[in-house]
Chains A and B, each alone.
Chain A
Amino acid sequence: MELIFDGVEEALRLIFSGDGYVYEVLFTSLYVSGVATLIALAIGFGLASLIALRLAPGKTLAVSAFNVGMALPPVTVGLIVSILLWRSGPLGELNLLYTRTAIIIAQAVIATPVVTALSIAAIQSVNPRLRLQIAALGASRWQSGVMLFREARVSLLAASMAGFGAAISEVGATMVVGGNIKGSTRTLTSATVLEVQKGNFDTGIAFSMILLVVIFFVVGGITFVQQRRPAS
């Protein structure tokens, strides 16, 4: 218990001492998870609208596939991504292993099924008769899609938050593909693991606290936007 208080104290010290290391780690986490989430959203929203609106046969199969994908073990993802990115692997030429891009790829792979599965559910939860009404109002296919996403925006935001949460709190794949390199691929989670490995539990808790604060602000901010009354 005392360790947690020490951790909070250490977290405050790290944040306010202007220690560049902490900010660097914080920036890395926000950057890689932010970009990974954006990629997951682009792919996930696209796939979800295809599956929810177009796919007739094979829909159940696709939905189950993404539901299973939500439970994809991150370490497995990390391992497969690293094997692909190894210098001796098929994508070795790109020299991406142990870079932020590698983490972005792994986190996007982990977050995409989460975003996709939840977005399918979000789109399907819109009253199907409302879809009919939108078409009846003379919407083109594209306009219908936009309206539908607008209708499902609360649930889609929840899907985005879940995707970001999956990305930023991920550590297994992040360490395997990123290598936990100081100044480049060290994230809040991998820094936590490193400190714990070294036995510096208070610093580990400090990084965890910073992570929690980040999640609180990002998720809290989105929730605030989500709960606003519709603009007039």
Chain B
Amino acid sequence: MSLLSLRDVSVAHGGREVLRVDALDVNGGEVLAVLGPNGAGKSTLVQVLALLQKPASGEVRFAGEPVRGNTLAYRRRVAVVFQEPLLLDASVKSNVGAGLAFRGVAGDERRRRVHEWLDRFGVAHLAKRSGRMLSGGEAQRVSLARAFVLEPEVLFLDEPFSALDAPTRHALIDDLSAMLSDTAIATVFVTHDRAEALRLGDRIAVLMGGRVRQVGTPAEVFGSPVDEEVAQFVGAETIVAGRVQSVDEGVAVVNVAGHAVEGGGEAMAVGDEVLVCLRPEDVVLGAVHEGVIPTSARNHLPARVTRIVPSGPFLRVEVDAGFPLVALITKQSREDLGIEPGADVIATFKASAVHLIRKRGG
């Protein structure tokens, strides 16, 4: 049985339904990452889960029981960290102690716990500073300590890193990740950032347009996006249309612009209009003179490099294989293979890396 779940929840603002969740479950001890673009209804979802706003209909169940009436007791079993640190105009100590004070935890017990969590988040030295005089990273650490000190049964994190610069964010994600494994608090972690979701989430729920579109393990969600929109959002960057030519032992051969592409084809039928989704990291580029590298990969397509775009530590290489295809290579590979715009290459990828989505209405 899940620890926390939503059933048939609907939230409307000004007559427009902004969130509709038929079912969503958070299990004890897991981190459920809710991944979605801006405006998807992520914050609304957190507020409903934390019962900071009451849904127009539906219910929130905690430990199997619907939470009804006064939400205070429930709110005192959970904790929320928002995107902005939202510190009170008081000292760091008072900020971290505030939730305990509301719960009637006083004296030495409160002091001890406040100090412990300030320490664990590395901000004990700021205890006497004003909450309004901190840097963004310090403030968010205080805000996290303020949530963890409550030892909540469920922790809600609403885009807690998105206002921070990259080095600060990475350091904090590392700390938070360790803290979450240590405490095993059931956590709902909301983000628009795929890397964060992958990093922290045991499971990922994709929220788009106010609906939960897909829930699954990272591999499930990233490897098998449920539809085109989800695929585009979670990052299968090659998405081209094709038609299923044949299906054999779970492998479908799809005609994409006159080229045969093999892909995982369970539940596909000959003649289906499909989308071929391929993540750039699954595409390997090889030099033409090397010929076909002996691998288990089923797809080997001659292609011509059209564009090279740096992407973090990698290069994003766009090639024309009769249809546009994107690959991710290292700078080293580029030198080794002499990949330049106009160069001819062989694009190789496994059939299992190809995700086929039956086109709606197709």
- A residues engaging B (CB < 8 A)? 127, 129-130, 132-140, 143, 147, 150-151, 153, 229-232
Chain A residues near B47 (CB-CB < 8 A) = 132
**A135 cross-chain contacts in B, Cβ below 8 A:** 52, 75
CB-CB < 8 A to A138: which residues of B?
72, 75-76, 99, 102-103, 150
Segment touching A, from B84-92, B168-176, B258-266, B345-353: B84-92
Q: 14 A-B Cβ contacts within 8 A?
A: A129-B86, A130-B88, A133-B82, A133-B86, A135-B75, A136-B52, A137-B102, A137-B150, A138-B75, A138-B102, A138-B150, A139-B102, A143-B102, A151-B88
**Quick check: is B98 within 8 A (CB to CB) of the other chain?**
yes
**A232 to B89 alpha-carbon distance, docked (Å):** 11
Q: A132-B82, A230-B130 are in contact. Are A140 and B88 (CB under 8 A)?
A: no
A135, A137, A139 — most chain B CB neighbours (10 Å) = A137
Cα–Cα, bound, A138→B80 (Å)? 10
B359 at the interface (CB under 8 A from A): no
Residue of B nearest to A137 (CB): B99
Contact between B75 and A232, CB atoms less than 8 A apart: no
Q: Which 8 A-B pairs have the closest CB atoms?
A: A136-B80, A138-B76, A137-B99, A133-B86, A232-B128, A138-B102, A232-B91, A139-B102
Docked pose: A8 CA to B130 CA in angstroms: 44
Partner of A127, one of B86, B130, B156: B86
B89 x A150 contact (CB < 8 A): yes
* A150 and B90 within 8 A (CB): yes
Within 8 Å CB of A229, what residues of B? 130
- Bound complex: CA A153 to CA B90 (Å): 11
CB distance from A166 to the nearest CB of B (A): 27
Contact call B89/A151, Cβ cutoff below 8 A: yes
Contact between A147 and B75, CB atoms less than 8 A apart:
no
CA distance A147 to B95 in the complex (A): 11
Using CB atoms, name the residue of chain A closest to B127.
Answer: A232
Question: Quick one: which of A130, A132, A138, A229 has the most chain B CB within 10 A?
Answer: A138
- Provide the residues of chain A in CB contact with B93, threshold 8 Å: 232
A136-B75, A137-B99 known; A230+B52 contact, CB < 8 A: no
Contact of A231 among B84, B91, B146, B156 (CB under 8 A): B91
Contact residues of B between 265 and 322, Cβ < 8 Å to A: none
When C-beta atoms are compared, the residue in chain B nearest to A154 turns out to be B89
* B234 close to chain A: CB less than 8 A: no
B328 close to chain A: CB less than 8 A: no
Judging by beta carbons under 8 Å apart, are B98 and A137 in contact? yes
Which residues on the A side are within 8 Å of B103 (C-beta)?
138
For residue B79, CB closer than 8 A to chain A, the reply is yes
Nearest CB on A from B70, distance (A): 9
- Assembly CA distance A135 to B47 (angstroms): 11
Whether the Cβ atoms of B86 and A130 lie closer than 8 Å is yes
The answer to whether A230 and B91 touch (CB under 8 A), given A127-B86, A133-B86, A140-B72, is yes
Residues of A within 8 A of B208 (CB): none
| B60 within 8 Å of A (CB atoms) | no
Q: Does B239 contact A (CB under 8 A)?
A: no
Q: How far, in angstroms, from A129 to B150 measured CA to CA in the complex?
A: 20
Distance in angstroms between the alpha carbons of A129 and B93 in the assembled complex: 21
Interface string of B156-181 (1 = CB under 8 A from A): 10000000000000000000000000
Interface string of B45-59 (1 = CB under 8 A from A): 001001010000000
Closest approach, in angstroms, between the C-beta of B34 and any C-beta of chain A?
17
B86 to chain A: which residues have CB within 8 Å?
Answer: 127, 129-130, 132-133
Contacts of B128 in A (CB 8 A): 232
Q: Nearest chain-B residue to A126 (Cβ)?
A: B89
| B84, B98, B102 pick with most chain A CB within 10 angstroms | B102
CB distance from B146 to the nearest CB of A (A): 7
B146 contact set on A, CB distance < 8 A? 137
- Give the chain A neighbours of B89 by CB distance below 8 A: 150-151, 153, 230
Closest to A152 in B: B89
Question: Could you tell me the distance between the alpha carbons of A229 and B90 in the complex, rounded to whole angstroms?
Answer: 9
Asked if residues B102 and A136 are in contact (CB atoms below 8 Å), the reply is: no
Bound: A55/B235 CA distance, A: 46
Contact of A140 among B79, B98, B99, B102 (CB under 8 A): B102
Shortest Cβ distance from residue A158 to the other chain B in the assembled complex, whole angstroms: 15
Assembled-state Cα–Cα distance A229/B76 (Å): 30
CB distance from A133 to the nearest CB of B (A): 4
A138 to B156, CA, bound (A): 13
Residues of A within 8 A of B82 (CB): 129, 132-133, 136
Provide the residues of chain B in CB contact with A153, threshold 8 Å.
Answer: 89
**Complex-state Cα separation, A132 to B84, whole angstroms:** 12
A137 to B93, CA, bound (A): 15
* Residue on A nearest B156 in the bound complex, by CB: A136
Q: CB-nearest residue of chain B relative to A135? A: B52
Query: With the chains together, A198 CA to B34 CA distance in Å?
Result: 79
**How would residues 85 to 128 of chain B score, 1 for a CB under 8 Å from any chain A CB and 0 otherwise?**
01011110110001100110000000000000000000000001
Tell me the nearest residue of chain A to B92, going by C-beta: A232
CB of B90, distance to nearest CB on chain A (Å)? 5
Shortest B104–chain A CB gap in Å is 10
By beta carbon, the residue of chain A nearest B53 is: A132
CB distance from B54 to the nearest CB of A (A): 12
